[in-house]
Amino acid sequence: MLSRKKRKIITKSRAAFIILLFLTIGFLIGYYQSYLQNKREEHLAKEHNLEFDEKSIKSEIELQPKENYNTKLEDNEDTIVNKQEDSIINTTNIIYKNIYNLCQDIMEASSPPSPDMIGLNELGFRKYLASESPTFEIISFSDEEVIILKENENACPSHYNHYLIKAQGGFINIYLINEEGEKILIEKTSISSTTLPYVDQKKLEKGIFKKTKEEIYRLLEDYM
pLDDT at 18: 74
Give the domains, in start order, of the chain with CATH numbers.
Answer: 93-152 (3.10.20.420), 157-223 (no CATH)
**Residue 129 contacts by C-beta under 8 Å, 6 or more apart in sequence?**
136, 137, 138, 148
Q: Are strands 183-192 and 171-177 parallel, antiparallel or unpaired?
A: antiparallel
Does residue 134 contact residue 185 with C-beta atoms inside 8 Å?
Answer: no
pLDDT at 19: 73
- pLDDT, one tens digit for every residue, the chain (224 residues): 445 555 555 566 666 667 776 677 766 676 666 666 666 666 655 555 545 455 554 555 455 555 454 555 455 444 444 557 899 999 999 999 999 999 999 999 999 999 999 999 999 999 999 999 999 999 999 999 999 999 999 999 999 999 999 999 999 999 999 999 999 999 999 999 999 999 999 999 999 999 999 999 999 999 88
DSSP conformational letter for 3: -
Distance CA 41, CA 107 (A): 91
pLDDT at 77: 47
pLDDT at 31: 64
Which region, left, alpha or beta, applies to residue 157 given φ > 0 means left and ψ of -120 to 50 means alpha?
alpha
Q: What is the dihedral of CA 164, 167, 169, 174, to 10 degrees?
A: 30
Number of other residues whose CB lies within 10 A of the CB of residue 147: 18
